[in-house]
Amino acid sequence: MTSLNDLPIRDDLRGKTPYGAPQEHVRVQLNVNENTHPIPEGVATDIVTAVARAVLGVNRYPDREFTELRESLAAYLGHGLAPENIWAANGSNEVLQHVLQAFGGPGRSVLGFPPTYSMHSIIADGTGTRWVTAERDTDYRLSAATVASAIERERPDIVFLCSPNNPTGTPLGIDVIEAAYDATPGILLVDEAYAEFQDGPTALSLLADRPRLLVSRTMSKAFAFAGARVGYLAADPAAIDALRLVRLPYHLSALTQAAAVAALAHADEMLAMVDDIKAQRDRMIAALPALGYTPHESAANFVLFGGVADPHAVFESLFAEGILIRDVGIPNHLRVTAGTDAETTIFLDALARLGAAGD
């Protein structure tokens, strides 16, 4: 049988592993930080109507500039942003790929602070960008001084900061973003996939007069739209022009554009469950210590918890009960998404039945 290594694949991709969060259809799926609440039926009806209208025109290519979607996203983000400040693609993963295609690539580097979102290094690999790393402070935090000194040491072309950070949930101070920007002559990308779950200012508030700052967002998390694949980015119009150089023409289908615009018209309803999800997150953080685990602070819709003697065994025991969480590869840790009240109860009850710290 032919194996991958028998093929003339790029040398720099040999031995790499693809992104591979398990996709299992079990009753409680808390492993990829989706919004587990289905979208309201009235909104779904409006989306179907918009998509149906778009279908009638699919003999033509879609609007290459996704003008209406950029208008909707600019209005949603506020912060004085205009459509010229907005980019979008099929998930923020594709947005990040565009960023690395335009500003990274062979001979260039991107600096990240692991543990962080696993796709950051995978997209670096795919675009031939060298992935360099620096350490975090205690409890996965990042201070302005730590970030600035890593940038001065590594001199990367691009810096990736994840705010709040996945998989740890750690919030990032706005002062850290400012310090990172001042320390680098290169591009600073702040991945704000989970921004709607955090309190306090976002990197969007720093965009004015910072043409090398790029802020990526997604409709996959708080916005309950993961299956539609819509991510976006806000930046100076010149940075958006750079992304235009690497995107494939018509990369956002007419159906995607129609669905996203219709959903954004109902932003309040789509985001209605965010407060409840935050409450479930805080409920898990409050309950886990009594079960012998050590949850980390989280500003996102998930909780990373330590003190797990055998993460694989706990993962498997929960899975046997139809509960899917995530082993993110951090020793003695597991990560769980905050879902509905009922899902939290099922998860916590199952964990309690396993006994103290999964022993």
| Contact in structure between 225 and 39 (CB atoms under 8 Å) | yes
Number of residues that bind ligand PMP (CB under 6 A): 13
Strand order in the sheet with 187-191: 86-89, 231-234, 213-218, 187-191, 158-162, 109-112, 130-133
Asked if 225 interacts with ligand PMP (CB under 6 A), we say no
Kindly tell me which of 92 and 202 has the beta carbon lying closer to ligand PMP. 92
CA distances, 176 to each of 146, 209, 212 (Å) = 9, 17, 15
Tell me the closest approach of the beta carbon of residue 159 to ligand PMP, in angstroms.
Answer: 15
Structure tokens at 332: 């003695």
Closest CA to 103 of 239, 251, 10: 239
Q: Which stretch binds ligand PMP (CB under 6 A): 22-30, 143-151, 218-226, 270-278?
A: 218-226
Applying the rule CB under 6 A, the residues between 106 and 165 that interact with ligand PMP are 117, 162
Asked if 202 interacts with ligand PMP (CB under 6 A), we say no
| Contact in structure between 150 and 137 (CB atoms under 8 Å) | no
**Contacts of 323 by beta carbon, 8 Å cutoff, 6+ apart:** 26, 27, 28, 30, 346, 347, 350
| Contact in structure between 233 and 203 (CB atoms under 8 Å) | no
Structure tokens at 336: 């769980």
Asked if 231 interacts with ligand PMP (CB under 6 A), we say yes
Structure tokens at 29: 């799926």
Asked if 337 interacts with ligand PMP (CB under 6 A), we say no
Kindly tell me which of 129 and 220 has the beta carbon lying closer to ligand PMP. 220
Nearest 5 degrees, angle CA 221-CA 139-CA 20? 45
Kindly tell me which of 157 and 191 has the beta carbon lying closer to ligand PMP. 191
Among 191, 196, 236, 343, binds ligand PMP (CB under 6 A): 191
Asked if 87 interacts with ligand PMP (CB under 6 A), we say no
Structure tokens at 155: 């001199």
Tell me the closest approach of the beta carbon of residue 4 to ligand PMP, in angstroms.
Answer: 24
Asked if 223 interacts with ligand PMP (CB under 6 A), we say no
Asked if 348 interacts with ligand PMP (CB under 6 A), we say no
Q: Which stretch binds ligand PMP (CB under 6 A): 91-99, 128-136, 236-244, 304-312?
A: 91-99
Tell me the closest approach of the beta carbon of residue 302 to ligand PMP, in angstroms.
Answer: 9
Please compute, for residue 13, the number of CA atoms within 13 A of its CA located in the half-sphere on the CB side: 15
Kindly tell me which of 203 and 357 has the beta carbon lying closer to ligand PMP. 203
Please state at what angle helix 144-154 crosses helix 174-183, rounded to 10 degrees: 20
Asked if 92 interacts with ligand PMP (CB under 6 A), we say yes
In the chain, count H helices and then E strands: 12, 12
Asked if 226 interacts with ligand PMP (CB under 6 A), we say yes
Beta-strand pair 231-234/130-133 = unpaired
Q: Which stretch binds ligand PMP (CB under 6 A): 8-16, 68-76, 86-94, 122-130?
A: 86-94
Among 31, 85, 93, 101, binds ligand PMP (CB under 6 A): 93
Q: Which stretch binds ligand PMP (CB under 6 A): 11-19, 74-82, 90-98, 348-356?
A: 90-98
Asked if 330 interacts with ligand PMP (CB under 6 A), we say no
Residue ranges in contact with ligand PMP by CB under 6 A = 33, 91-93, 117, 162, 166, 191, 193, 218, 220, 226, 231
